[in-house]
Structure 1
Amino acid sequence: MKALYIASTGMSAQERNVEVISNNIANMRTTGFKRQRAEFQDLLYQVYRRAGSSTSESGTQLPAGVEIGSGVKTGATPRIMSQGNMQPTEKELDVGIRGEGFFPIQLPDGRTAYTRDGAFERNANGMMVTIEGYQVQPGIIIPDNARSISISSEGVVEAFLDNDGAPTQLGQLQLARFANKAGLEGIGDNLYVETDASGAAQVGTPNADSFGNLLQGHLELANVNAVTEIADLIAAQRAYEMNARVISGADEMLSATSQLR
């Protein structure tokens, strides 16, 4: 009975849906996290009578055909790249992005990754790095005698050195944007890498050419809405239960048929 297989694809799809929702909820407090949404597609149809086929020698046509679908599949789990709320942290090296852009990060293998997580630190060599120790691009070195570090909305990093009366510019933060942000591939540690779907990174200066601006002493929170996720979770549970009920009903029908024999 095809209903058994069709309902099983529905259960599998809702299981994947719950996995996506659970990951969103698990990352509610992850800096710069972007929620995902499961999108579904129907599977191939078996056509028993094709719409528009001839029904008589006089040329009458079938206005509606007979076609039975074979279930559902998970088509994609795109990221929703909407802006998250800004949370003040009062930490000099915390930087939030308001608007378009990602911070370029150099990975240990030489590749460039991208992140919305601006929780930066200073390593033993004075380099500005992520909490995993990956270097922020372009490289910015903060001297040991630097005090009162400031990061402008345009990404200019300055600090007072020793007893200098004027600040010294230490470097310039940059942002990267993509034609299709949803096409980025997540690799963990709040990092993404570009793919053929995302297109190549376009690097520029914050607060210019449609790039977002920076806010020092703040971090961008995840764009996960707890109420929405719980509502989606309940809907997924109900859909799963209904598909399970279809399997039970089909099994009862098969049992009744076997008893007739």
Structure 2
Amino acid sequence: MSFQQGLSGLNSSSKNLEVIGNNIANAGTYGSKSSRAEFADVYANSVGGSGNVGIGVRVANIAQQFSQGSLVSTSNSMDVAINGDGFFQLKSSSGDLLYSRNGQFKVDNQGFVVNGQNQRVQGYGVDPQGAIQTGVRTDLQFPTGGLDPKETGKISMALNLDSRSKVTMPTPTVPATDSIKLDDATTYNNATSVQAYDAKGQPATVEFYFQKSAAATVGSKDQWNIYAAVGGKVLGDAIPAKPIIEGLTFDSAGLHPKLSDGTALGSITLPDIPMDTSHAAIAGIKFDMSDVTQFGTGFTISESSQNGNAPGQLTGLTIDADGVINARYSNGLTRGAGQLELASFRNAQGLRAVGGNAWMGTPESGAALSGAPGSGTLGVLQSGALEESNVDMTGELVNMITAQRLYQANAQTIKAQDQVLQTLVNLR
């Protein structure tokens, strides 16, 4: 028996206590992962024989445990938690690529998404049309200014006209008068409106009126006329007022809308919207309602959209489960602003901890496998949440007591060896 076994036991137990203490210290650190001290016995080199006595113990490895931590909700939409496999990717000030599970992000004064150490979050940007550039990693950056106004150039509508509707078009008169009176609901069947915008983003409410008229000839189908109006006046200069779509018919199934000349309904150009005190003139708006049907159900609008907008200021950001970041504006619009990219490793325990809740890749970890959240084996994201440390406090306290007892036991072996040597010294 020598002092070496006891000393190695003391050193290993001390290192184990350090690991346990570090786990306990970081139990409240978001994205932190617990570590475990792994030990190996030590034997002296010898030739032959099977009765060798070990000479102690050594710390073989400090292994980090990358099990999932609990997710806790926060009130910050820029807080993001990973539910599943993967790491956020960060670029340090020196250009190194780091990996982290801590999703406490913010936007700096240049519009870059950064963490608490001002390391830039990596992801996919967007092109001028707002499409995400998947596969092209970059520093995520958002425009800090507002959304410019855009003049409406197209209005689209998908709806159903009730085939059971009664004819509301009045009998023609001589001289001709308007066949629709906007202030008389008995002259049309249904109405709806869409907000359009001029070049400065000033709104103009475009109203659409749907009027069922009797069949043009005996045995033919009833028809529909559609009028467009702004400010209580039907668009266009015709007298009497002229519909933008006239004599619309459907087949027996209520499908395949056709115009009075037999051509299929397609996109048309609305008459110019005249200028008034609240907005400028708007010209050349394309109107598409080719998805219209005529079923025996009520008048319903399944889609109504236009491509213009008022100016808006950035009011906030939200992050979807697939990592897509959406910018919210004061005009009610949302625009895609980028997408977070995650990375995974074949051997996550091979990563090297560098502090600040971050790791670096090593040859032992293998190359990073990057992709969008939810793709492959990568986890999904939860916005407004953070991942807590995976440290089990109860287990760590038990481990600390065990490590302390082991330290005391190894101290006893040194004490026993000292007593043996003292006995030898006292021999006469």
Question: Partner of 1:147 in structure 2?
Answer: 315
Distance 2:316 2:363 in 1: 42
Are 2:388 and 1:225 equivalent residues in the alignment?
no
Alignment RMSD: 1.3
Identity %: 35
Question: Partner of 2:411 in structure 1?
Answer: 244
Q: CA deviation at 1:3?
A: 2.4
SS of the residue corresponding to residue 39 of structure 2 reads strand
Contact 2:43–2:52, Cα closer than 8 Å, also in 1:
no
Question: Partner of 2:339 in structure 1?
Answer: 172
> What amino acid maps onto 1:44 in structure 2?
Y
Query: CA deviation digits over 1:112-145, x for unaligned, max 9?
Result: 0010000001111111100111100132223333
State the TM-score, normalizing by the size of structure 1.
0.91
Q: CA deviation at 1:44?
A: 1.7
Of Structure 1 and Structure 2, the greater helix share is in 1
Question: Partner of 2:8 in structure 1?
Answer: 9
Contact 1:46–1:69, Cα closer than 8 Å, also in 2:
no
Distance 1:66 1:255 in 2: 27
Assess, with a 3 A threshold, how the Cα gap between structure 1 residues 190 and 116 changes in structure 2: closer, same or farther: same
Are 2:36 and 1:37 equivalent residues in the alignment?
yes
Larger Rg: 2
* Structure 1: runs of 5 or more not aligned: 51-64
Distance 2:83 2:51 in 1: 53
Question: Partner of 1:91 in structure 2?
Answer: 76
Distance 1:166 1:109 in 2: 37
Q: CA deviation at 1:183?
A: 0.6
> What amino acid maps onto 1:117 in structure 2?
N
Query: CA deviation digits over 1:31-67, x for unaligned, max 9?
Result: 10000000000112465972xxxxxxxxxxxxxx321
Query: In the alignment, which of 172, 189, 196 is matched to residue 356 of structure 2?
Result: 189
Q: Which moved more, 1:143-152 or 1:120-129?
A: 143-152
Are 2:219 and 1:234 equivalent residues in the alignment?
no
Distance 1:148 1:124 in 2: 14
Contact 1:46–1:68, Cα closer than 8 Å, also in 2:
no
Distance 1:257 1:216 in 2: 71
Are 2:6 and 1:21 equivalent residues in the alignment?
no
Distance 1:175 1:252 in 2: 60
Q: CA deviation at 1:90?
A: 1.3
Distance 2:392 2:117 in 1: 27
Query: In the alignment, which of 326, 330, 336 is matched to residue 158 of structure 1?
Result: 326
Question: Partner of 1:254 in structure 2?
Answer: 421
How many residue pairs match? The answer is 245
* Structure 2: runs of 5 or more not aligned: 124-138, 145-312
> What amino acid maps onto 2:329 in structure 1?
L
Contact 1:47–1:66, Cα closer than 8 Å, also in 2:
no
Contact 1:177–1:201, Cα closer than 8 Å, also in 2:
yes
Q: CA deviation at 1:162?
A: 3.5
SS of the residue corresponding to residue 85 of structure 2 reads coil
SS of the residue corresponding to residue 231 of structure 1 reads helix
Trace 1:113-152 onto structure 2 (pairs within 5 A). 113-138=98-123, 139-144=139-144, 145-152=313-320
Distance 2:362 2:29 in 1: 23
Are 2:57 and 1:72 equivalent residues in the alignment?
yes
